[in-house]
Amino acid sequence: MNRLQKYVSYAAISLVAIGSSSSAWAGNCLLPNFAGGWKAYVSSVSGGKLVWASCRLVITSTGVIGNTTCPTSLGVSGAFTNAKLSIVSSAACEFKAVFKVAGVAYTASSITLSDDHLNATGVGLYGSNAFTIDMVKV
């Protein structure tokens, strides 16, 4: 399997995982559904290696995400700042988020909240690089 086929396979597996979550096609999610504490895992590939950050987040009922510090796989912590969550589609429980990690701007263009509002999964870009985000309510 060549490199492109592997990436396409990984993308397909990710799409199946997102689509098969108990995602809210039943819908009508609002920003207050995200209010509270979350553990978020942001993953990407950089220089051919998997890189991740693990962040403890507090989200307000208006979608503001508090500043925090996130340990990374690089052995250093990065500041998580300037974060805001907004609704893309209430009916599909789809949200988007913008934030910075260590000063780098990220846009999670599609985050789907599960029906039970305890998990969320999404994808996005920082620069020309893609990343995934997985969140668990804590």
CATH number for the domain spanning 14: value is 2.40.128.120
Domain that holds residue 45: 3-137
Q: Is 65 exposed, middle or buried (CB count within 10 Å of its CB: 0-12, 13-18, 19+)?
A: buried
Strand partners, 93: none
Reply yes or no on whether the pLDDT at 15 is more than 90: no
Structure tokens at 89: 């589609």
pTM confidence score: 0.78
Q: Is residue 27 very low, low, confident or very high in pLDDT (cuts 50, 70, 90)?
A: low
Over residues 83-131, the pLDDT tens digits come to 999 999 999 999 999 999 888 999 999 999 999 999 999 999 999 899 9
Q: 27-58 in b/e burial notation, b at 16+ Cβ within 10 A?
A: eebebebbbeebebebebeeeeeeebbebebe
Q: Can you tell me the mean pLDDT for 42-70?
A: 94
Number of domains in the chain: 1
